[in-house]
C-alpha cells in the first residue's frame, strides 16, 4: 500500500491536509472518501487506519481529509459548520475526479462526517458507488436540542460554549447550530439511491440512535446494524464492525 500526503486548497483559500492510500499495482482503483467526526484528526485517529485496512482488503483505495482547523489543516476548528465541512469534502472529491487511476468513488462518514456525506450525495453533483455511515449525525439541531448538557439559548447568547475532548477543551461557535437551519437532512435522505449501511450503537450519548432508525426507514437501499449497548465510541467493538463491513463490501466493486 502506497501512502501520499499532501495539501489541497479549498474555494475559501484554506489549505487542507490530505492523505491517499492506494495499491500502485492496480492501474485502476475505486476510492472511498473518508469524512470524519468533528474535532477528529484523521491522521491520528485509530478509526481511519482501521477502516482504510478493511477497504484495502476489498480492493478499495482510501482518501482522508482533515477539515479546516483539524490536524495540520489551516483554519479554526471552533468555527466549523455544515457549510464549511461540505466545502472541504467537495474539495477532496473534486481532486479525486482529476486522477486518471480513479475508477469510481464511494463514501464513508463517521458522526459529523456522515451528515456531510448525506448532503453531498443528495446534491446529485457526483455519482457514488455506496455509502457507509457510522453513528451518523444527520440532524444537527436535533442533536443539540436533545443534549441535556447544552443550553441552546445560552449558547446563542454567549456565542460559544466549551466542550471537553480527548485532545483538550474546544470552543464551539454558535454558527454550528445556526448554520444547520439552512439544511433539510431528512428531505436530502430521500434522495439517497445507492446501497447504504448504517452502523450505530443504541446507547449513543452523542448522536441520538433514533436518527439512525429514522434514516434507515427513509433510505430505501439501506440496512441498519445496531450495536447493542454501545455508545458513540467503538472501543472493544471493532471486531463486530469489521464483520459487518466485510459482509457489506464483499459484493461491492
The answer to whether residue 221 sits within a structural domain is yes
CB neighbours of 65 closer than 8 A, spacing ≥ 6?
Answer: 8, 16, 17, 18, 19, 33, 34, 35, 42, 88, 89, 91, 92
The answer to whether residue 43 sits within a structural domain is yes
The mean pLDDT value for 105-121 works out to 97
Range of the domain at 113: 2-140+185-249
Pairwise CA distance, residues 222 & 27, whole Å: 31
Q: Comparing 169 with 98, which gets the higher pLDDT? A: 98
The answer to whether residue 179 sits within a structural domain is no
Report helix angle 47-57 to 238-249, nearest 10. 30
Which pLDDT band holds residue 236 (cuts at 50, 70, 90)?
Answer: confident
The answer to whether residue 155 sits within a structural domain is no
**% pLDDT > 90, the chain:** 85
| Whether the model pTM is above 0.75 | yes
Say yes or no to pLDDT of 168 above 80: no
Tally of domains within the chain? 1
**Residue 201: how many CA atoms within 13 Å on its side-chain side?**
19
Say yes or no to pLDDT of 147 above 80: yes
Contact 36, 42 (CB under 8 A): yes
For residue 135, what pLDDT is reported?
Answer: 96
The mean pLDDT value for 163-190 works out to 90
Q: What is the CATH number of the domain that holds 193?
A: 3.40.50.1820
> What average pLDDT does the structure give for the chain?
94
* Model confidence pLDDT, tens digit, residues 19-69: 999 999 999 999 999 999 887 888 888 888 999 999 999 999 999 999 999
Pairwise CA distance, residues 219 & 165, whole Å: 32
For residue 197, what pLDDT is reported?
Answer: 98
For residue 213, what pLDDT is reported?
Answer: 98
The H or E element containing residue 133 is strand 131-134
The answer to whether residue 71 sits within a structural domain is yes
Say yes or no to pLDDT of 113 above 90: yes
Closest among 114, 82, 111 to 179, alpha carbons compared: 82
The answer to whether residue 149 sits within a structural domain is no
The answer to whether residue 198 sits within a structural domain is yes
Which pLDDT band holds residue 114 (cuts at 50, 70, 90)?
Answer: very high
The answer to whether residue 21 sits within a structural domain is yes
Per mean pLDDT, which range of 116-120, 194-198, 228-232, 234-238 is the poorest?
A: 234-238
Say yes or no to pLDDT of 231 above 90: no
Pairing of strands 15-22, 2-9: antiparallel
Amino acid at each position: 500500500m502506497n501512502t501520499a500526503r499532501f495539501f489541497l486548497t479549498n474555494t475559501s483559500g484554506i489549505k487542507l491536509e490530505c492523505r491517499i492510500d492506494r495499491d500502485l499495482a492496480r492501474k485502476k482503483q475505486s476510492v472511498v472518501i473518508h469524512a470524519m467526526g468533528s474535532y477528529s484528526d484523521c491522521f491520528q485517529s485509530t478509526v481511519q487506519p482501521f477502516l482504510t485496512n478493511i477497504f484495502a482488503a476489498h480492493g478499495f483505495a482510501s482518501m482522508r481529509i482533515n477539515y479546516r482547523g483539524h490536524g495540520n489543516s489551516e483554519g479554526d476548528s471552533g468555527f466549523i459548520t455544515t457549510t464549511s465541512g461540505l466545502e472541504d469534502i467537495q474539495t477532496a472529491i473534486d481532486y479525486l475526479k482529476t486522477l486518471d487511476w480513479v475508477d469510481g468513488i464511494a463514501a464513508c462518514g463517521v458522526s459529523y462526517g456522515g451528515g456531510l456525506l448525506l448532503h453531498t450525495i443528495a446534491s446529485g453533483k457526483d455519482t457514488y458507488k455506496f455509502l457507509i455511515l457510522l453513528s451518523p449525525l444527520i440532524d444537527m439541531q436535533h442533536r443539540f436540542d436533545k443534549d441535556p448538557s447544552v443550553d441552546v439559548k445560552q449558547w446563542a447568547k454567549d456565542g460559544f460554549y466549551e466542550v471537553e475532548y480527548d485532545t483538550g477543551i474546544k470552543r464551539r461557535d454558535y454558527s454550528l447550530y445556526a448554520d444547520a437551519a439552512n439544511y433539510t437532512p431528512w428531505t436530502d435522505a430521500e434522495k439517497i439511491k445507492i446501497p447504504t449501511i448504517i452502523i450505530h450503537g443504541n446507547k449513543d450519548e452523542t448522536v441520538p440512535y433514533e436518527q439512525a432508525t429514522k434514516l434507515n426507514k427513509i433510505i430505501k437501499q439501506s440496512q441498519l446494524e445496531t450495536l447493542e449497548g454501545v455508545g458513540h465510541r467503538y472501543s472493544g467493538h471493532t471486531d463486530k464492525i469489521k464483520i459487518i463491513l466485510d459482509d457489506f463490501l464483499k459484493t461491492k466493486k
